Amino acid sequence: MKRSHARRGNPRATAAQLLQQLSAGRSLSELLAGAPGNVPPRDLGLLKEFCFGTARWWLRLAPLAGLLLKHPLKPRDGDIHALILLGLYQLEYMRVAPHAAVAETVEAVRILDKPWAAALVNGVLRRFQRERETLLARVDRDPSARHAHPQWLMEALQKEWPDRWEVLVDAANHRPPMTLRVNLARISRQTYFERLQQASLSARPVPGIPSAAVLDQPMDAIDLPGFTQGLVSVQDAGAQLAAGLLDLQRGQRVLDVCAAPGGKSTHLLESAPGGVTLTAVDIDARRIARVRENLERLGLKAEIQVGDATHPAGPWAERHYQRILLDVPCSATGVIRRHPDIKLLRKAGDIPSLAAQQSRILDTIWPLLQSGGMLLYATCSLLPEENREQVKRFLAATKDAREKPIDGTWGHACEFGRQTLPGEDTMDGFYYACLQKV
């Protein structure tokens, strides 16, 4: 028989179990997608807050726990380690009554079947309450802990953005806004604001991006007025720049490579004057199902193909396109505020291999672009290896490619292409470069 503590679906215990798996290289989105641990629906928001918050501050909380633990925990007790960090997160960053945070976190050790850890977790959290300031001062001497960013990433950002890196890492540690993309093909932003008002919701327009609005209070997308009818989607303002940059003309053939989950694909269909023919390709058959769902919800049509951008094969690879959107796989260092686990999952060594993969994709897809056409290269990275250096290398190696400089009131012009930075104008960090074929 197994002991039951009659509290199934304890969100703290479940959060600890999920967070423990981050060290095995699994992402939180992936872990949370699997309807975790019998947590009742009313606690799902709390579970997400626990997971994302603890991951966001992990690199500050882990050294803090190191000071509080006499001996490091055994690898098999990774769940208890994660639970301690979760306890510290609640005490330092959440508005939970401290005594409840401690009691509930201690209770979770029983659900994890590790009652021996009750005294340990209790002792660690109470000592933090007593000695908070001294302990934090010690931990914060290390800039990597103070900013809760890995050393390699901080150094890379310092090098590329010497005047701005501190603002950047600070923005990455903030909760992201919930940004809407109003489907301007169906409703004007102003009329949609009226719909929001009728539902006692409020939002502010994002200047310079006609479709974008930031909700004052985040909520479930499904509950947004007109969401199921396709009047609105959820998409960061920086991502909403892509459709405009493509400069679409009526009747063009457009290819979106690495299209899943389809945010940019659907936006370019919404915004194309008079319609274009879109082929959306992604390597992941499961993720491409999301593209299909999004198209259906918005009442849009596209040809959907499963395909590998480094080995194009099949009908989609035998045509030429007037526009190509190439939103390549990248380090995602520009969207850390939405996916804080990137700070733990991504390693310095990943960057060269990602850059090599991006080069390969760019070189492979370029021949599919028709002469006179344009390819929009996009990443959600802040690192030059994936952005301006990538484009520089490509332009030097590709005779029939020219850069078309991007004018904009947003972001920052780079040697090649243009970059948005997290937190500026509500946006995530995206990089765009327009490449024309002569």
Partner 1 sequence: MARLNILCFPDPRLRNRARPVEQVDDSVRQLLDDMLETMYEAPGIGLASTQVNDSRRVVVIDISENHDAPLCLINPEILERSGEEEMEEGCLSVPGVYETVRRADQVRVQALDREGNPLEMAAEGLLAVCIQHEIDHLDGKLFVDYLSNLKRQRIRKKLEKERRQKTTNEPVRQPVI
Annotated catalytic residues are: 380
352 lies in the site for partner 1, by CB under 8 A: no
* Closest CB 346 distance from partner 1, rounded Å: 8
- The single-letter code of the amino acid at 144 is S
250 lies in the site for partner 1, by CB under 8 A: no
CA atoms within 13 Å, Cβ hemisphere of 140 = 8
Q: How far apart are CA 271 and CA 247, in angstroms?
A: 10
Cα–Cα–Cα angle for 161, 391, 382, rounded to 5 degrees: 30
For partner 1, the closer CB: 109 or 298: 109
For partner 1, the closer CB: 35 or 396: 35
Stretch in the footprint of partner 1 (CB under 8 A) among 40-48, 144-152, 241-249, 337-345: 337-345
285 lies in the site for partner 1, by CB under 8 A: no
* Closest CB 186 distance from partner 1, rounded Å: 27
Site string for partner 1, 97-136 (x = CB under 8 A): ----------------x-xx--------------------
User: Residue 419 region, left (φ>0) first, then alpha (ψ -120 to 50), else beta?
Assistant: beta
H or E, element range at 257? strand 253-257
* Closest CB 115 distance from partner 1, rounded Å: 5
**Cis peptide leading into residue 261 (ω within 30°):** yes
344 lies in the site for partner 1, by CB under 8 A: no
H or E, element range at 195? helix 189-198
For partner 1, the closer CB: 27 or 398: 27
Residue with tokens 């990943």: 350
Task: Locate 198 and state its tokens.
Answer: 């009728």
For partner 1, the closer CB: 231 or 354: 354
End-to-end Cα separation, the chain, in angstroms: 73
The DSSP bridge partners found for residue 204 are 214
264 lies in the site for partner 1, by CB under 8 A: no
Q: How far apart are CA 433 and CA 420, in angstroms?
A: 12
Q: How far apart are CA 436 and CA 303, in angstroms?
A: 24
151 lies in the site for partner 1, by CB under 8 A: no
* Closest CB 340 distance from partner 1, rounded Å: 12
3 lies in the site for partner 1, by CB under 8 A: yes
For partner 1, the closer CB: 31 or 272: 31
* Closest CB 369 distance from partner 1, rounded Å: 22
247 lies in the site for partner 1, by CB under 8 A: no
The DSSP bridge partners found for residue 326 are 257, 377
- The single-letter code of the amino acid at 278 is L
The DSSP bridge partners found for residue 418 are 413, 432
Site string for partner 1, 354-373 (x = CB under 8 A): --------------------
223 lies in the site for partner 1, by CB under 8 A: no
R_g over Cα of the chain: 23
13 lies in the site for partner 1, by CB under 8 A: no
For partner 1, the closer CB: 2 or 74: 2
* Closest CB 404 distance from partner 1, rounded Å: 25
Stretch in the footprint of partner 1 (CB under 8 A) among 161-169, 268-276, 338-346, 395-403: 338-346
Instruction: Number of residues interacting with partner 1: please give it, by CB under 8 A.
Output: 26
For partner 1, the closer CB: 21 or 398: 21
Kindly give the pairing relationship between strand 418-419 and strand 321-327: unpaired
The DSSP bridge partners found for residue 155 are none
Name the DSSP letter for residue 112. T
Q: How far apart are CA 150 and CA 428, in angstroms?
A: 19
Stretch in the footprint of partner 1 (CB under 8 A) among 47-55, 137-145, 196-204, 335-343: 335-343
Per CB under 8 A, the list member of 82, 168, 317, 330 interacting with partner 1 is 330
Cα–Cα–Cα angle for 103, 87, 69, rounded to 5 degrees: 105
Of residues 17-36, which lie at the interface with partner 1 (CB under 8 A)? 24-27, 29-30
171 lies in the site for partner 1, by CB under 8 A: no
Asked whether the CA dihedral 150, 16, 34, 217 is positive or negative, the reply is: negative
* Closest CB 110 distance from partner 1, rounded Å: 9
User: What are the Cα distances from residue 382, in Å, to 95, 157, 177, 375, 418?
Assistant: 32, 8, 19, 20, 11
* Closest CB 265 distance from partner 1, rounded Å: 15
1 lies in the site for partner 1, by CB under 8 A: yes
- The single-letter code of the amino acid at 428 is D
Binding stretches for partner 1 (CB under 8 A): 1-4, 6, 8, 24-27, 29-30, 38, 113, 115-116, 258, 284, 329-330, 332, 335, 339, 342, 345, 380
